[in-house]
C-alpha cells in the first residue's frame, strides 16, 4: 500500500508522541521532529507507510541513544499474555472450533501495537480478548485457511508485536509444527517482536524461528535478508499479522492470509472496513513475478 497524504499528519503526530514517550529532553523532541519533517518532505509517496515509520524510529533510537526504547513495554505485555496463556489455551481446546478461536485470539492480540496507539491498558486488552472468544471469526476466508493448512508444505507465520506473539502461539499450535516457521523482526522497532520475544513466548521450543533481517515495522522485502526473501517467496502458505505487514506486502503476489485489527482510517478505507474491525483477509493474486 502506498503512503497517502493523510498518513503525513499522522507521521508527525506519531513522531511527537513517541519521542515524548521515550525521552523528556525537549531538544531531542525538536531535533527529531524537524529531522522527520525534512524526510517526509522528500519522501516518495509510492513507498509504503512502514518505510517512513522505520526511518522515524531509527531517528528516535539514534537521537536518544536508546537501542530498544520499548523494551519494558514489550516485556510487560509478554508477561501479561503469558499469564493468560494457560486459560486461553484451555478455551481454545474446549471450543467447538479451535481454529476459529485461535485465529480470533491471534487477531485480538494485534491490539498490542504501540505504532498505531500511544497506550493500551490491561483492561482494554482483556476486554478485547473476551470479545474475541465470545464472537469468533467465521466466513469463507476462514474456511479457505482451514482447507489449505493440511496440504501446505512450508507455512510462514509473520509475527507482529511482543505480547501478541503469545497469542500467536495459540494459532501456531493449531498448525503442523514441523512445517511452520515463525518470523520475527531483525532488530528492535517500536514494540515489534524480536527473537527474544519468541523465546519468552515459548515459540522457539515448538517451531523454527527465523528473523527477517530488517527493523522496519512491517515486511519491506528489499530491506530483508536474502535468506528471508528466499523463504517468503517460496512459502506456500503465509500468515501475516498486523497493519504493517498488510501495508508492505499487499501488492505482492504471495499466498498471504492477513490477520489484523484495523487501526487507522487510511487502512480502513483501503480494506473497506471501519477502524476497530478484527480482520481476516486472503490475498492470492495470480503470480506475475516473484523476482
Q: Which residue has the cell 499487499?
A: 250
Nearest residue (CB) to its own copies, 53 versus 142: 53
Closer CB to its own copies, 9 or 86, in the complex: 9
Shortest spacing between CB 33 and its own copies, in angstroms: 6
Nearer to its own copies, 51 or 180 (CB): 51
Cell of 24: 523528556
Neighbours of 10 (CB within 10 A): 17
Shortest separation between residue 44's beta carbon and its own copies, angstroms: 11
Nearer to its own copies, 45 or 82 (CB): 45
Whether 71 and 188 have beta carbons less than 8 Å apart is answered as: yes
For its own copies, which is the closer residue by CB, 13 or 285? 13
Q: CA 279, CA 260: separation in Å to the nearest integer?
A: 5
For the CB of residue 39, give the shortest distance to its own copies in the complex, in Å: 9
Residue 43: CB minimum distance to its own copies, A: 8
Helix (H) or strand (E) holding 118: none
- DSSP-derived secondary structure letter, 264: S
Residue 109 or 115 with smaller CB distance to its own copies: 115
User: Residues in the site for its own copies, rule: CB under 8 A?
Assistant: 5-6, 8-9, 12-13, 16, 26, 29-30, 33-35, 37-38, 40-42, 45
DSSP symbols for 83-148: HHHHHHHHHHHHSSSHHHHHHHHHHHHTT--TTT-S---HHHHHHHHHHHHHS---SHHHHHHHHH
Looking at the chain, how many residues does it have? Answer: 291
Nearest partner of 230 among 254, 194, 204, judged by Cα: 254
Largest CA distance in the chain: 56
Alpha-carbon separation of residue 209 from 147, 161, 198, 228 (angstroms): 24, 15, 7, 11
Q: Work out how close the CB of 68 gets to its own copies at its nearest, in angstroms, rounded to a whole number.
A: 24
For the bound state, the minimum distance from the C-beta of residue 85 to its own copies, rounded and expressed in Å, comes to 38
User: Cα(99)–Cα(97) distance, rounded to whole angstroms?
Assistant: 6
Q: Which is nearer to its own copies, 49 or 278 (CB)?
A: 49
Question: d(Cα 168, Cα 164) in Å, to the nearest integer?
Answer: 6
Distance in Å, CB of 272 to its own copies, minimum: 21
Amino acid at each position: 500500500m502506498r503512503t497517502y497524504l493523510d498518513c503525513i499528519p499522522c507521521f508527525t503526530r506519531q513522531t511527537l508522541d513517541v519521542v515524548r514517550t521515550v525521552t523528556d529532553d525537549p531538544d531531542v523532541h525538536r531535533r527529531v521532529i524537524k529531522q522527520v519533517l525534512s524526510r517526509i518532505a522528500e519522501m516518495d509517496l509510492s513507498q509504503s507507510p512502514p518505510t517512513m515509520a522505520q526511518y522515524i524510529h531509527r531517528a528516535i533510537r539514534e537521537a536518544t541513544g536508546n537501542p530498544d526504547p520499548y523494551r519494558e513495554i514489550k516485556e510487560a505485555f509478554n508477561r501479561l499474555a503469558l499469564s493468560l496463556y494457560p486459560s486461553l489455551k484451555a478455551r481454545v481446546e474446549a471450543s467447538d472450533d479451535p481454529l476459529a478461536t485461535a485465529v480470533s485470539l491471534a487477531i485480538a492480540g494485534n491490539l498490542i501495537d504501540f505504532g498505531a496507539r500511544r497506550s493500551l491498558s490491561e483492561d482494554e486488552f482483556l476486554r478485547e480478548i473476551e470479545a474475541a472468544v465470545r464472537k469468533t471469526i467465521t466466513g469463507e476466508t476462514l474456511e479457505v485457511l482451514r482447507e489449505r493448512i493440511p496440504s501446505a508444505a512450508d507455512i510462514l507465520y509473520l509475527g507482529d508485536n511482543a505480547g501478541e506473539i503469545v497469542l500467536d502461539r495459540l494459532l501456531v499450535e493449531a498448525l503442523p509444527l514441523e512445517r511452520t516457521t515463525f518470523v520475527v523482526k531483525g532488530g528492535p522497532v517500536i514494540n515489534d517482536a524480536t527473537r527474544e520475544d519468541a523465546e519468552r513466548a515459548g515459540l522457539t521450543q515448538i517451531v523454527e524461528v527465523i528473523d527477517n533481517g530488517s527493523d522496519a515495522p512491517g515486511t519491506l522485502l528489499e530491506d530483508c535478508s536474502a535468506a528471508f526473501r528466499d523463504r517468503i517467496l517460496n512459502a506456500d502458505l503465509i500468515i501475516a499479522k498486523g497493519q504493517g505487514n498488510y501495508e508492505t506486502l499487499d501488492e505482492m503476489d504471495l499466498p498471504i492470509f492477513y490477520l489484523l485489527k484495523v487501526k487507522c482510517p487510511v487502512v480502513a478505507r483501503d480494506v473497506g472496513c471501519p477502524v476497530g474491525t478484527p480482520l481476516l483477509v486472503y490475498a492470492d493474486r495470480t503470480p506475475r513475478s516473484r523476482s
